[in-house]
Amino acid sequence: MATKASEYREMSDEQLDSELKQTQKDLFRLRFQASTEKLDAPSNLLKLRRSIARIQTVQRERALKAAPAN
């Protein structure tokens, strides 16, 4: 679950997109569990949020690199 940013940088764009969608689904599921029943590991919420941020950062880096410099 705890993937480093360097590992995300090695993934293709399609892999990053699917990883982002899956992580967001997992986060939604954990938030739902937190509100309806006892959550086993509340620290997983933070880990998933950080993973989403890392993926979005890598995607933004690629978008900036692909854009022409002014």
CATH number, domain containing residue 19: 1.10.287.310
- Per the structure, the count of domains in the chain is 1
Tokens 């982002």 -> residue: 20
Percent of the chain at pLDDT > 70 equals 94
Q: Is 51 left (phi over 0), alpha (psi -120 to 50) or beta?
A: alpha
pLDDT at 1 over 60: no
pLDDT tier, 70 (very low <50, low <70, confident <90, very high otherwise): low
The domain in which residue 61 lies consists of 5-66
Q: What is the pLDDT of residues 13-62, one digit of tens each?
A: 999 999 999 999 999 999 998 888 878 888 999 999 999 999 999 999 99
pLDDT at 40: 82
pLDDT of residue 2: 59
The answer to whether 54 touches 10, Cβ cutoff 8 Å, is: no
